[in-house]
Amino acid sequence: MSAEKCVGDAAIDGIAEGREPTERERRHLDSCDSCRVRLESARRDAGLLAELAASACPRVSSAADPAGADADAAEEIPGYRLLGEIHRGAQGAVMRAVQTATQRAVAVKVLHRGALATARQRQRFERETELLATLRHPNVVTVFDAGRTRSGGFFLAMELLEGSTLDSMLESERARGAFPPARRAALREALERFAALASGVAAIHRRGIIHRDLKPQNIIVDRTGAPHVIDFGVARPEQGDGGAGGGAGDGAGGSAGDSRLLATLEGEFVGTLAYAAPEQVAGDPALVDIRVDVYALGAILHRMLTGRAPIELTGSIAAVVDAIRSAEPAPPSRWNPAIDGELDRVVLQALAKDPAERYESAGALERDVRRHLAGDPVDAMRGGRLYLLRKALARHRAAVIVASLFFVMLLGFGITMAMLYAKANAANLARQDSLTAVLGILQSEDLHRRIDEETATRLLSRIEESLRGNLMEQPADAWAHFRELGLRQLRRGDHTSALRQFETALRMVHSADPGNRRAIADLHHQTGRALWFLRRYDEALREYEASLALERELHGEPSEAVAAGLTHLGATLRELGRLDEAEAAQRRALEMRRRLHGPDDPRYGASLNNLGVLLRERGRHEEAISLFEQALRIARASDAGVEGIGAALHNLGLAQARLGRRDDAVRSLEEAIAIKRRELEDDHPSVVSSQNELARLRGDASTPTEPGAAPPAPTAPARTPPP
């Protein structure tokens, strides 16, 4: 290994694209194994992308005109004094500058001429830079300003970060022999850095922006070791516009990957292949939501832990795309024996081929990594009692052996609820006063609003362990507690755990009180709800039909119990594609609730909302909007919160988008997110669903922003169940 300074990322980039190396660069490359590996990788990727651009999108130029770039970089920018070039990438030149009004040192990116060739591209650039300018997060580069140069080009002024790309840092560690991280301290440092990175990405998602091009080259690690997300892809071109792909900040230092962004392909795929999710190479922009960034984070974490991409991408471009879509990623422990099975599961869940099997959001992935660091159970491993017991023993050891005392404080009320259980005296849990305390914990809305997600998850896990360890032989006393636990987990979005509780409660009632038809009908209904959320619609339909048959025997028609059953039955038939039957069920429920409760009751409003969802999916958007607006009026009057106002706004926004009313749709979805976040965690499926739709709307090339534009592609139905 040469003692000379390694060849910089920008130089590697240029040589890979065909520039002749200087004599010093040639000498160094001859003597430095690490730099040769980097150059070979850069050339291989450049070749793949050239083949891809030629075969899939010959109309699109893969690089901007160099002469135009030089002119752009040199032109004067009002309010800034340019001091010199930091980096030049496929999208523009990044300059060191001083903002004259504040004398603040900044990085200014001057986009290549032609990067924003159409009115739609310019509108997106302006829209997303406005959003980014309001975002302040320690792990996201701060955007200060954006505008036009004196000659009409576009620029972006950002925080000036001193450091190197994550890509460069990992390669440097490899060259020093300090990679992959095998020592416990090094592994912990890598995971903490990644958790901070995921936190930054989650903050971007909360602004309704999908990054689409996350990769180590687009992450700057500053001198303190903190990561910063850069290059937001705000200059992403439209299909057939002829511009290059790109982002908001190539970043100081650059990398071999900066010029290897994919040109816009058929279906508007933007991203670097090694970090591209399967749906990004599928050619359908309607499939892309914030979970493509979750996949990219999983690929980044895999590389941080192993030094390798999760999938080997070699051969023709067809072979590469096929591998992305079908090859299973290798668990990190294959390359780094310091990694345990739990961390393997976290990484592999982030890299799941099916977006529905990934973490719902970057925040959920971040939380699981932090749980792993803290020694707590991770969501990727939930469901195994032995696993949960092992984690509890590892975390509490002596305390678990002797006894376990759990206190929960009702903040603001000064009431302490406690549940005491001990291994030597498990029978105490069966006492009625203890059961009453458990029910109080589960039913306290104020408690669950005030405690954080991690505390709530640990609380519910502890309660389940206690119930299953001590009450399984007392079904007459315990079934109601499992039901309440399931309802709480269902509300928090833990649908798998909720299903487990409802099925347990149903078995207990059948065993201890088979004549309790009210309880059996209710538990069939709750089991159907959990199955519906898990997309197991055939099974959900059977549960709803069983519940509805019992409710008709118990209550007759009209009754609210039957109306609620018809509502859920209709939603399930809709998911199964049986739309005529679904509409008939929803209309019967609507009419029943009007007769029972009147036209201003929130339950009638909920049925309006549910029928509107069905009509929207049948393409009857004007009718759907009318129903959503009626439902929203009723929900606002009754202050119906997430299940009323939030659901109506979400569905109204989707219908408005389908009719090309983009600004109205954005306002509806933004308000829906704000309403939901008052009661739900940021990564709750309902919040994530609205964030996904907003991100699609802001970034979808087919969103009408010009006369004659096509409406956006259909998206999946909102994951909001009928009330």
Lowest pLDDT segment from 179-193, 236-250, 309-323, 605-619: 236-250
The CA-atom distances, in angstroms, between 651 and each of 368, 605, 641, 686, 719 are 30, 13, 15, 12, 10
**Which of 151, 125, 131, 127 minimizes the C-alpha distance to 143?**
131
Q: For residue 702, is pLDDT > 80?
A: no
pLDDT digits (tens, 9 = 90+) for 442-477: 545 444 444 455 555 666 666 666 666 555 555 555
Lowest pLDDT segment from 9-23, 278-292, 558-572, 706-720: 706-720
Cβ neighbours of residue 652 under 8 Å, at least 6 residues apart? 625, 628, 629, 632, 668
Would you state the pLDDT for residue 664?
Answer: 92
Cα-based torsion angle of the residue sequence 353, 356, 360, 365 in order, rounded to the nearest 10 degrees = -30
Would you state the pLDDT for residue 464?
Answer: 63
Cβ neighbours of residue 3 under 8 Å, at least 6 residues apart? none
CA 467 from centroid of its chain's CA atoms = 33
pLDDT digits (tens, 9 = 90+) for 113-136: 655 556 666 666 676 677 777 788
Would you state the pLDDT for residue 205?
Answer: 87
Would you state the pLDDT for residue 706?
Answer: 36
Q: For residue 60, is pLDDT > 70?
A: no
Q: For residue 721, is pLDDT > 60?
A: no
Q: For residue 341, is pLDDT > 70?
A: yes
Q: For residue 674, is pLDDT > 80?
A: yes
Which one has a higher pLDDT value, 494 or 641?
494
Q: For residue 244, is pLDDT > 50?
A: no
**Which of 665, 674, 671 minimizes the C-alpha distance to 711?**
665
Inter-residue contact 128 to 232 (CB < 8 Å):
yes
Q: For residue 318, is pLDDT > 80?
A: no
Lowest pLDDT segment from 380-394, 460-474, 516-530: 380-394
Cα four-point dihedral sign 91, 95, 99, 105: positive
Would you state the pLDDT for residue 345?
Answer: 92
The phi and psi torsions of 672 (rounded to 5 degrees) equal -60, -45
Lowest pLDDT segment from 154-168, 433-447, 556-570: 433-447
**Which of 280, 218, 267 minimizes the C-alpha distance to 247?**
218
Highest-pLDDT range among 269-273, 394-398, 634-638, 664-668: 664-668
Which domains are delineated in the chain?
Answer: 9-56 (no CATH), 182-229+272-381 (1.10.510.10), 600-723 (1.25.40.10)
Q: pLDDT exceeding 70 applies to what percent of the chain?
A: 68
Which one has a higher pLDDT value, 718 or 662?
662
Q: Extract the runs of DSSP E, i.e. beta strands, from 615-692.
A: none
The CA-atom distances, in angstroms, between 106 and each of 79, 129, 158, 476 are 12, 16, 6, 68
Q: Extract the runs of DSSP E, i.e. beta strands, from 536-690.
A: none
The CA-atom distances, in angstroms, between 26 and each of 7, 11, 37, 478, 713 are 10, 11, 14, 75, 50
Which one has a higher pLDDT value, 316 or 710?
316
Would you state the pLDDT for residue 255?
Answer: 34
pLDDT digits (tens, 9 = 90+) for 478-510: 777 788 888 888 887 789 988 988 998 898 888
Would you state the pLDDT for residue 32?
Answer: 84
Mean pLDDT of the chain: 75
Which one has a higher pLDDT value, 517 or 272?
517
- Tokens of residue 412, six digits: 């603001």
Burial class (CB in 10 A: 0-12, 13-18, 19+), 503: middle
Would you state the pLDDT for residue 705?
Answer: 36
Q: pLDDT exceeding 90 applies to what percent of the chain?
A: 29
Tell me what the mean pLDDT of segment 159-171 comes to. Answer: 90
Residues across the chain: 723
- In this prediction the pTM is 0.52
pLDDT class of 369 with cuts at 50, 70, 90: very high
Q: For residue 47, is pLDDT > 60?
A: no
Lowest pLDDT segment from 189-198, 221-230, 257-266, 369-378: 257-266
Highest-pLDDT range among 55-69, 443-457, 528-542: 528-542
Q: For residue 245, is pLDDT > 60?
A: no
Inter-residue contact 677 to 214 (CB < 8 Å):
no
Would you state the pLDDT for residue 698?
Answer: 80
Would you state the pLDDT for residue 99?
Answer: 92
pLDDT class of 701 with cuts at 50, 70, 90: very low
SS (H, E, C) 56-77: HCCCCCCCCCHHHHHHHHHCCC
pLDDT digits (tens, 9 = 90+) for 70-112: 444 445 788 999 998 887 765 678 889 999 999 999 999 887 6
The CA-atom distances, in angstroms, between 333 and each of 301, 311, 322, 339, 345 are 12, 14, 24, 5, 10
Q: For residue 239, is pLDDT > 50?
A: no
pLDDT class of 208 with cuts at 50, 70, 90: confident
Q: For residue 215, is pLDDT > 50?
A: yes
Would you state the pLDDT for residue 682?
Answer: 77
pLDDT class of 351 with cuts at 50, 70, 90: very high
Tell me what the mean pLDDT of segment 685-705 comes to. Answer: 72
The CA-atom distances, in angstroms, between 459 and each of 216, 395, 483 are 37, 15, 16
The pairing of strands 143-148 and 154-159 is antiparallel
Cβ neighbours of residue 238 under 8 Å, at least 6 residues apart? 118, 120, 121, 264, 268, 701
The pairing of strands 415-421 and 227-229 is unpaired
